């Protein structure tokens, strides 16, 4: 066996440093069964040279053992024993790749098992969702559901990859028909920003490089598009919020005598920008003070912006503890004990009115009671229908009463300020993803065939 020699690196140092200076884009994939999603992910990793030779060798070995003639790139992401045994993807897998000026965190979300749970999970942190559609099949019911979830979660960008374009002979007509369908559904569901691209994940057409086999397509390749997308919200256009995670008071434990009297409020800037000298308000108390210092480790900053993790020093010693929110004094949210929200139910046992739960918002957890269940999303017609309970993977509209006022915000204005978890108080399980102030698509009810006379009466 040959020795594991390392060849001398020939990389350009500037390029390596450049990737680190570039931005981070969080990307989630979604799609139905057999639309080639794992192949697309494998292709992205392969074409950005993110698959190393020992990983590729393992994939080739397993593919051979299964009697396949070519390496099955889906095996790159199916990591669990049960997934390999059953040939399916069970859970969200995270993968990493980089180009010269951007790094990507890719959440690969399975399409069939618990698709709502997985798509909600992947979409909640995503800057962009890449949704696969089979060019031969066009927009399916599941495509509509995936688009509905990305619209509900307010993912800033959606890219619809019209896949298997090679199997329709690179037909412009087929692509344009699917594109028109996608546009219509996206508009109906309120998708913020959707782009379509004709691709062949299997052959690599329009993945990294623009394909010569789709001369009628003038747009960018998938990777070019992902590199060029503006990262999510510009902090300069948001209001400043910082949920306090910890109060830092070293007192006698300070490693440096100079910090014995240090008192700082540690947290991640959830939105906006804060500068030394800014007037801020602590919530829910409503006490006002001024920022006198911003620390990141032992480094002092003049300003901090989302999503930096910093520690704020304030002019006055007011009562602030973990769970409070420090906000810009000029436009602080009003704490409330009553909220309306859309929840994606992820618990095995159903949600019912009057149920008591825990709610986590920012760094604060409070008790809550379900006042009423005001409807659920019919996943076939994608509009609200009356409901008495929410089952696993259902999406519904609820009214909640909180045990203490929280400075929640409308999710449409702030993904961070408007999101919360519902938690089982007994075993700690996460039961739901919640979005304050969100609504279900109402739309005209789709025409339904009456099933019997009783139905017809109504």
Question: What residues numbered 80-139 form the site for other proteins, per CB under 8 A?
Answer: 80-82, 84, 90-96, 102-103, 105, 117-118, 120-121, 124-125
- Residue 240 near residue 278 (C-beta atoms within 8 A): yes
User: Measured from the CB of residue 358, what is the shortest distance to other proteins in angstroms?
Assistant: 8
User: Measured from the CB of residue 128, what is the shortest distance to other proteins in angstroms?
Assistant: 15
Site for other proteins in 184-203 (CB under 8 A): none
SS3 219: coil
Residue with tokens 């669990």: 80
User: Measured from the CB of residue 234, what is the shortest distance to other proteins in angstroms?
Assistant: 7
C-alpha 167/C-alpha 213 separation (Å) is 12
Rg of the chain (C-alpha set): 25
Site for other proteins in 222-261 (CB under 8 A): 231, 234-236, 245-246, 248-250, 253-256, 259
355 makes contact with other proteins (CB under 8 A): no
DSSP 262: -
Q: For CA atoms 14, 16, 17, 22, give the dihedral sign.
A: positive
Select from 131, 199, 339, 346 the one that contacts other proteins (CB under 8 A): 346
430 makes contact with other proteins (CB under 8 A): yes
Count of H-run helices and E-run strands, the chain: 9, 23
φ, ψ (nearest 5 deg) of residue 79: -95, -20
State how far the alpha carbon of 382 is from the alpha carbons of 141, 151, 256, 412, in Å.
10, 12, 60, 19
Site string for other proteins, 62-81 (x = CB under 8 A): x--------------xxxxx
Among 441, 438, 390, smallest CA distance to 417 is for 438
| Nearest CB to other proteins, comparing residues 205 and 324 | 324
C-alpha 75/C-alpha 62 separation (Å) is 8
| Nearest CB to other proteins, comparing residues 80 and 184 | 80
C-alpha 69/C-alpha 78 separation (Å) is 19
Stretch touching other proteins by CB under 8 A, among 219-227, 326-334, 397-405, 426-434: 426-434
| Nearest CB to other proteins, comparing residues 135 and 438 | 438
How many residues touch other proteins under the rule CB under 8 A: the total is: 102
| Nearest CB to other proteins, comparing residues 144 and 154 | 154
Tokens representing 112 are 């069939």
- DSSP-derived pairing of the beta strands 157-163 and 194-198: parallel
User: Measured from the CB of residue 247, what is the shortest distance to other proteins in angstroms?
Assistant: 10
Site for other proteins in 280-309 (CB under 8 A): 295-303, 305, 307-309
How many alpha carbons fall within 13 Å on the CB side of residue 44?
A: 30
| Nearest CB to other proteins, comparing residues 111 and 198 | 111
21 makes contact with other proteins (CB under 8 A): yes
277 makes contact with other proteins (CB under 8 A): no
C-alpha 237/C-alpha 414 separation (Å) is 11
| Nearest CB to other proteins, comparing residues 207 and 269 | 269
448 makes contact with other proteins (CB under 8 A): no
C-alpha 128/C-alpha 154 separation (Å) is 10
| Nearest CB to other proteins, comparing residues 67 and 428 | 428
| Nearest CB to other proteins, comparing residues 140 and 421 | 421
CA 249 to chain centroid: 34
C-alpha 39/C-alpha 144 separation (Å) is 21
Select from 421, 437, 439, 441 the one that contacts other proteins (CB under 8 A): 421
User: Measured from the CB of residue 60, what is the shortest distance to other proteins in angstroms?
Assistant: 13
| Nearest CB to other proteins, comparing residues 50 and 399 | 50
């Amino acid at each position: 066996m040959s020795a594991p020699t390392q060849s001398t690196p020939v990389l350009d140092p500037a390029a390596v440093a450049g990737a680190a200076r570039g931005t981070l884009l969080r990307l989630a994939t979604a799609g139905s069964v057999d639309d080639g999603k794992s192949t697309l992910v494998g292709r992205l990793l392969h074409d950005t040279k993110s698959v190393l030779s020992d990983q590729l060798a393992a994939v080739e070995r397993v593919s051979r053992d299964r009697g396949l003639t070519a390496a099955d790139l889906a095996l790159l992401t199916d990591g669990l024993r049960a997934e390999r045994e059953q040939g399916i993807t069970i859970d969200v897998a995270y993968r990493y790749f980089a180009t010269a000026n951007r790094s990507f965190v890719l959440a690969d979300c399975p399409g069939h098992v618990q698709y709502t749970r997985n798509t909600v999970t992947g979409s909640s942190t995503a800057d962009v969702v890449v949704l696969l559609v089979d060019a031969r099949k066009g927009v399916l019911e599941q495509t509509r559901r995936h688009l509905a979830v990305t619209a509900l979660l307010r993912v800033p960008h959606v890219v619809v990859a019209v896949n298997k374009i090679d199997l329709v002979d690179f037909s412009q007509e087929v692509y344009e028909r699917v594109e028109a369908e996608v546009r219509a559904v996206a508009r109906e569901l309120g998708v913020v920003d959707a782009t379509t691209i004709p691709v062949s994940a299997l052959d690599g057409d329009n993945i990294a490089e623009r394909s010569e086999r789709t001369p009628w397509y003038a747009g960018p390749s998938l990777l070019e598009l992902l590199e060029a997308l503006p990262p999510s919200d510009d902090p300069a256009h948001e209001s400043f919020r910082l949920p306090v995670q910890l109060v830092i008071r070293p007192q006698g434990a300070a490693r440096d005598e100079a910090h014995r009297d240090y008192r700082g409020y540690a947290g991640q800037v959830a939105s906006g920008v804060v500068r030394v000298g800014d007037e801020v308000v602590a919530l829910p108390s409503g006490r006002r003070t001024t920022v006198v210092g911003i620390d990141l480790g032992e480094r002092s900053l003049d300003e901090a912006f989302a999503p930096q993790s910093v520690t704020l020093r304030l002019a006055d010693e007011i009562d602030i503890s973990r769970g409070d929110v420090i906000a810009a004094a000029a436009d602080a949210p009003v704490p409330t004990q009553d909220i309306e929200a859309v929840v994606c139910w992820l618990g095995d046992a159903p949600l019912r009115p009057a149920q008591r739960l825990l709610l986590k918002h920012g760094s604060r957890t409070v008790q809550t009671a379900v006042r009423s269940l005001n409807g659920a999303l019919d996943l076939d017609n994608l509009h609200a229908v009356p409901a008495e309970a929410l089952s696993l993977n259902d999406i519904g509209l609820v009214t909640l009463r909180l045990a203490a006022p929280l400075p929640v915000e409308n999710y449409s204005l702030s993904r961070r300020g408007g999101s919360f978890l519902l938690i089982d108080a007994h075993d700690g399980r996460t039961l739901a993803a919640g979005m304050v102030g969100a609504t279900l698509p109402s739309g005209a009810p789709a025409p339904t065939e009456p099933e019997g006379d009783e139905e017809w009466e109504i």
